[in-house]
C-alpha cells in the first residue's frame, strides 16, 4: 500500500503557487500546510486549498509532526536557514534553484541531510523534461558522436531581481542541463556582463565553461531582450541538435550535419574541410509537464529512500560555478577562474523518471 507523503510549503510568491498546484493533486502526496509572511497570499491560498493549514510563522509549521517534507520556494537568501531548520526537524527537503547563496551553505545542507538520513533535492525542473531526456538518450546512444560544445540562450525582458544577478537567476537551468550532458564539471569559468538598470546587479551576462578534452559551453543570459528566447544547441562530431523550449510540440531538431578535416596533408593548398549535409528529423517527445515529473520524483525518492536525479551534490556544482562566475565578473575583463572540482568527474545519475503522468 502506497504511503502518502505530507508536505509543508514555505513561500507562496512567484513559484510557490505552481508547486502547491502540483503537490495538492499528485498521487502519494498531500499538501497539508503553506507558510508565507504575506497575509493576502495566505488568504488566496486558503480559498484554493481549504484543507491546508496556513502559517505566518515558519517555526510553527515545522512543529507539525504530521509533515514529512518541506518545500522551500522563497528568495535565495533564506534557502539555507529554512532548509537547515527543516532537516534538523527531521523533514525531507526540496529547494527551489539555486540551492543556496554559497557553496559552503550547500555543503552544510548536504552534510546534515546525510547525517539525518533525509532526502535533499533541488528543483532543477528542466532535468525532468521530456526534451532533455530525449537529448540525453541521443547522446548516450552515441548518435551525436562526441559532444564538442553546447551553446545556450536564455533571454527575456525582465523579471529584474533585486538580490541576485541574471546569471544566478537564469543560468542554473542551463547549467543543470550542461552538467548532466557533459557528465563532469568544468575546469575553467569566465564571465563577462554589465549592469544597465541597477548599477549593482548585472542584467546581461555571457558565461563560458571550459571542460576537459577541448569541450566547451557558453550561456547567454539577459533581462534586457525584446523577445523571449529559450534555446540550446548541441554540437557533436557526427550530428547537431537544436532545442527550442518555446516550441509547443517540435522542441528538438536533429541535424545530420558535420565538418570533417583530412587526417593528413602535405601542403597548405591541400588542406580543406569536408562538409556533410544530411537529413533533419524531429524526434517524438513524451508530453508531460516537467514540474509534475519533478514533484513526483521527489515523492518517489522519499518513499524509496533513493538519491534523486537533482540531488544536493548537483545543486552544489551549479552554485560553485555561479560563484566562479561572480569572481570572474569582478575581475578586470572577465578573467578566467579555475573551477577544478574536488572530484575530477561528477557521477552521472540517469535514474528512471517518476511515472506521475
Q: Are 114 and 173 contained in the same domain?
A: no
Q: Are 93 and 173 contained in the same domain?
A: no
Q: Assess if residue 211 is contained within a domain.
A: yes
196: CATH? 3.30.360.10
Q: Are 138 and 257 contained in the same domain?
A: yes
Query: What pLDDT is recorded for position 262?
Result: 64
Q: Assess if residue 59 is contained within a domain.
A: yes
Q: Assess if residue 306 is contained within a domain.
A: no
Q: Assess if residue 140 is contained within a domain.
A: yes
CB 356 within 8 A of CB 296: yes
pLDDT digits (tens, 9 = 90+) for 198-229: 999 999 999 999 999 999 999 999 999 999 99
Q: Are 177 and 245 contained in the same domain?
A: yes
Chosen domain end from 118, 149, 184: 118
Query: What pLDDT is recorded for position 226?
Result: 97
Whole-number Å distance between alpha carbons of 153 and 244 = 10
Q: Assess if residue 345 is contained within a domain.
A: no
pLDDT range class, residue 338, cuts 50, 70, 90 = confident
Quick check: helix, strand or coil at residue 35?
Answer: strand
Q: Are 192 and 83 contained in the same domain?
A: no
Quick check: helix, strand or coil at residue 214?
Answer: helix
57 is in which domain, residue-wise?
5-118
pLDDT digits (tens, 9 = 90+) for 247-263: 999 999 999 987 776 66
What's the domain count of the chain?
A: 2
Per-residue cell: 267: 601542403
Q: Assess if residue 302 is contained within a domain.
A: no
Q: Assess if residue 297 is contained within a domain.
A: no
Q: Are 112 and 178 contained in the same domain?
A: no
Sheet holding 274-281, edge to edge: 274-281, 252-260, 240-244, 224-236, 147-157, 216-222, 204-210, 188-194, 337-338
Q: Are 97 and 147 contained in the same domain?
A: no
Q: Assess if residue 270 is contained within a domain.
A: yes
Amino acid at each position: 500500500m502506497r504511503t502518502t507523503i505530507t508536505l509543508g510549503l514555505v513561500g507562496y510568491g512567484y513559484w510557490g503557487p505552481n508547486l502547491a498546484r502540483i503537490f495538492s493533486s499528485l498521487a502519494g502526496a498531500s499538501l497539508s500546510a503553506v507558510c508565507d509572511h504575506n497575509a493576502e497570499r495566505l488568504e488566496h491560498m486558503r480559498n484554493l486549498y481549504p484543507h491546508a493549514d496556513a502559517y505566518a510563522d515558519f517555526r510553527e509549521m515545522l512543529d507539525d509532526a504530521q509533515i514529512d517534507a518541506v518545500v522551500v520556494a522563497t528568495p535565495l537568501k533564506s534557502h539555507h536557514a529554512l532548509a537547515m531548520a527543516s532537516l534538523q526537524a527531521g523533514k525531507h527537503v526540496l529547494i527551489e534553484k539555486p540551492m543556496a547563496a554559497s557553496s559552503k551553505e550547500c555543503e552544510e545542507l548536504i552534510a546534515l541531510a546525510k547525517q539525518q538520513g533525509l532526502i535533499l533535492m533541488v528543483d532543477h525542473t528542466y532535468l525532468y523534461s521530456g526534451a532533455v531526456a530525449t537529448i540525453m538518450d541521443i547522446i548516450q546512444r552515441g548518435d551525436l558522436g562526441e559532444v564538442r560544445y553546447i551553446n545556450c540562450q536564455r533571454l527575456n525582458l525582465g523579471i529584474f531581481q533585486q538580490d541576485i544577478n541574471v546569471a544566478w537567476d537564469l543560468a542554473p537551468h542551463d547549467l543543470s542541463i550542461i552538467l548532466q550532458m557533459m557528465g563532469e564539471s568544468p575546469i575553467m569559468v569566465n564571465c563577462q556582463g554589465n549592469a544597465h538598470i541597477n548599477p549593482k546587479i548585472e542584467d546581461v551576462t555571457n558565461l563560458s565553461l571550459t571542460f576537459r578534452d577541448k569541450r566547451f559551453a557558453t550561456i547567454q543570459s539577459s533581462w534586457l531582450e525584446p523577445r523571449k528566447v529559450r534555446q540550446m544547441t548541441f554540437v557533436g562530431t557526427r550530428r547537431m541538435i537544436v532545442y527550442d523550449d518555446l516550441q509547443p510540440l517540435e522542441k528538438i531538431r536533429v541535424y545530420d550535419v558535420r565538418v570533417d578535416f583530412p587526417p593528413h596533408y602535405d601542403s597548405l593548398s591541400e588542406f580543406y574541410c569536408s562538409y556533410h549535409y544530411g537529413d533533419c528529423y524531429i524526434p517524438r517527445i513524451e508530453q508531460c509537464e516537467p514540474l509534475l515529473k519533478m514533484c513526483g520524483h521527489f515523492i518517489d525518492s522519499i518513499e524509496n529512500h533513493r538519491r534523486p536525479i537533482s540531488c544536493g551534490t548537483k545543486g552544489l556544482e551549479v552554485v560553485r560555478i555561479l560563484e566562479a562566475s561572480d569572481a570572474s565578473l569582478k575581475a578586470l575583463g572577465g578573467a578566467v577562474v579555475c573551477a577544478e572540482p574536488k572530484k575530477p568527474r561528477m557521477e552521472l545519475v540517469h535514474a528512471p523518471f517518476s511515472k506521475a503522468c
